[in-house]
């Protein structure tokens, strides 16, 4: 047993780092570092740059246009891009519907969708949650009624991240309400331009717009857009639960945040000395660093098991719980570090190109909004309570 990733993987890490250095647009890097708002173009732009280098679909096999990376290479790529201020690649195409189409889709579906996901030509969003179906996803009510070669879809999805940017949405819909709730669900691909779809923004507590409500009013969807068999959609939903979940650990991004915390704590003063020298605050930073280390070491064990052919199982739940708690903890310490300057709410200062002097220190404006926004991480993607339930059931056998 050792902790060495080996020279090949180290060379790969150097290659990724060098590529980021050379290719990440400087204004995008600047926005990411300073916590400014990213545009859709910033995010897609980065995805296209990666695509041009053959890295547009990092987790995919070569037959679908991916680089066929090992689990360790995928981890290294995630870590380096996160740590070096690259925008997050939207997961809905690359990590969700893409793998679903690869595993369950028809040849036509593969040909139609996969290349455009890899190249970022088409953006996707995820139609899972509904107003009455959060943790209890299988209780969803959006209905698809078959009419010849078409499904007529009616209902509502919610918490749909990036629906306002997306060209397509993949949805879980009810196609049979006479059977057990998990057995009457199908998986549909729906073009957002279809008549009858309406997207309404949901403003989150810090004032941001990431999530939406999506309404379906007699939306006609060709039956050929169904993935897998009718009423077998729940199998697909479960397939996605364990898929590519190691990236959820966000090791690279948390390392970047820890670095930022240390820099800010060095710049802030307490009793005329750097806050970083305050025993109480130092201890909190140390604790966060140790938590990060524990998460990283656990992740590496999971990656290592994956490399040996083990499928990712409920450890994805462990990673999700601890990773989101760590992100929240770091955002809390960042806000704490700046004292009273967490109070001014100046969203204009988060716009790129805003040239007024900031109210407090330059790094202050984004910290409280990020703290508020990141409360979502322990709620979305299967709340941390649901994740603990999975561990109880799948690992502990309760």
User: Please, which residue, 52 or 205, has the CB nearer to other proteins?
Assistant: 205
Question: Phi, psi at residue 335, to the nearest 5°?
Answer: -65, -40
Pairing state of beta strands 150-157 and 209-222? antiparallel
Residue 110: DSSP 8-state: H
244 given a catalytic annotation: yes
Q: How far is the CB of 144 from other proteins (least distance, A)?
A: 23
Q: Cβ 396 to other proteins, closest distance in Å?
A: 14
Residue 296 or 332: which CB sits closer to other proteins?
A: 332
CB nearer to other proteins: give 159 or 165: 159
Helix or strand (DSSP H, E) at 275? none
Tell me whether residue 230 or residue 325 sits nearer to other proteins (CB atom): 325
Q: How far is CA 50 from the centre of its chain?
A: 18
Other CB atoms within 10 A of residue 207 CB = 12
Between 84 and 212, CB nearer to other proteins: 212
Backbone angles phi, psi at 151, to 5 degrees: -100, 140
**b/e map 317-352, b = 16+ CB within 10 Å:** bbbbbbbbebbbbbbbbbbbbbeebbeeeeeebbee
DSSP letters spanning 80-107: HHHHTTPPPPPHIIIIIIHHHHHHH--H
Minimum Å gap between C-beta 373 and other proteins is 8
Q: Please report how close the Cβ of residue 203 comes to other proteins at its closest, in angstroms.
A: 5
Which of residues 22 and 280 has its CB atom nearest to other proteins in the complex?
280
**Closest approach of Cβ 387 to other proteins, in Å?**
12
CA distance 259 to 254: 9
CB of 101 to other proteins, least distance (A): 27
Continuous segment of H or E residues that includes residue 174: strand 168-174
- In the complex, the residues that contact other proteins under the rule CB under 8 A are 129, 132-136, 139, 158-159, 202-205, 207, 211, 268-272, 275, 278, 280-281, 332, 336, 339-346, 359-360, 368, 371-372, 375-376, 378-380, 383-385, 388
Nearer to other proteins, 156 or 384 (CB): 384
Minimal distance, residue 209 CB to other proteins, in Å: 10
Query: Strand pairing partners for 147?
Result: 150
Distances (CA, A) of 151 to 97, 178, 337: 19, 18, 54
Long-range contacts of 47-54 (CB under 8 A, 24+ apart): 47/89, 47/90, 47/120, 48/119, 48/120, 49/23, 49/24, 49/25, 50/89, 51/118, 51/119, 51/120, 53/19, 53/23
Q: What is the DSSP letter of 395?
A: I
Catalytic annotation, pick one of 244, 306, 315, 329: 244
Residues with a known catalytic role: 244
């Amino acid at each position: 047993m050792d902790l060495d990733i080996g020279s090949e993987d180290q060379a790969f890490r150097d290659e990724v780092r060098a590529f980021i250095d050379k290719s990440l647009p400087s204004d995008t890097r600047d926005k990411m570092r300073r916590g400014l708002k990213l545009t859709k173009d910033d995010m897609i732009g980065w995805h296209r740059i990666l695509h041009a280098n053959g890295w547009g679909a990092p987790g995919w096999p070569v037959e679908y246009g991916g680089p066929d990376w090992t689990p360790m290479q995928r981890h290294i790529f995630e870590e380096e891009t996160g740590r070096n201020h690259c925008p997050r690649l939207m997961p809905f195409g690359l990590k969700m519907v893409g793998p679903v189409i690869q595993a369950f889709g028809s040849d036509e579906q593969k040909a139609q969708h996969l290349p455009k996901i890899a190249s970022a030509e088409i953006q996707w969003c995820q139609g899972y949650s509904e107003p009455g179906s959060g943790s209890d996803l299988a209780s969803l009510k959006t209905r698809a009624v078959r009419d010849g070669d078409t499904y007529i879809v009616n209902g509502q999805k919610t918490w749909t991240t990036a629906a306002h940017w997306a060209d397509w949405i993949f949805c879980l819909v009810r196609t049979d309400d006479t059977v057990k709730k998990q057995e009457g669900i199908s998986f549909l691909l729906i073009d957002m331009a279809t008549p009858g779809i309406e997207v309404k923004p949901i403003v989150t507590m810090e004032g941001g717009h990431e999530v939406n409500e999506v309404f379906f009013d007699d939306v006609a969807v060709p039956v050929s857009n169904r993935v897998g068999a009718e009423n077998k959609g729940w199998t697909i939903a479960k397939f996605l639960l364990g898929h590519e979940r190691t990236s959820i650990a966000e090791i690279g991004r948390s390392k970047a945040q820890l670095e930022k915390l240390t820099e800010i704590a060095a710049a802030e003063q307490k009793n005329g000395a750097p806050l970083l020298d305050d025993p109480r605050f130092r201890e909190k930073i140390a604790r966060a660093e140790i938590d990060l280390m524990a998460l990283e070491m656990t992740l590496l064990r999971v990656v290592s098991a994956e490399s040996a052919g083990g499928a990712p199982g409920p450890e994805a739940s462990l990673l999700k719980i601890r990773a989101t708690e760590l992100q929240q903890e770091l955002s809390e310490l960042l806000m704490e570090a700046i004292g009273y300057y967490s109070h001014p709410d100046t969203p204009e200062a988060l716009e790129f190109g805003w040239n007024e002097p900031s109210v407090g220190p330059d790094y202050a404006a984004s910290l409280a909004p990020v703290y508020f926004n990141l409360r979502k991480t322990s709620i979305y993607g299967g709340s941390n309570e649901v994740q603990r339930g999975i561990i109880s059931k799948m690992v502990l056998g309760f």
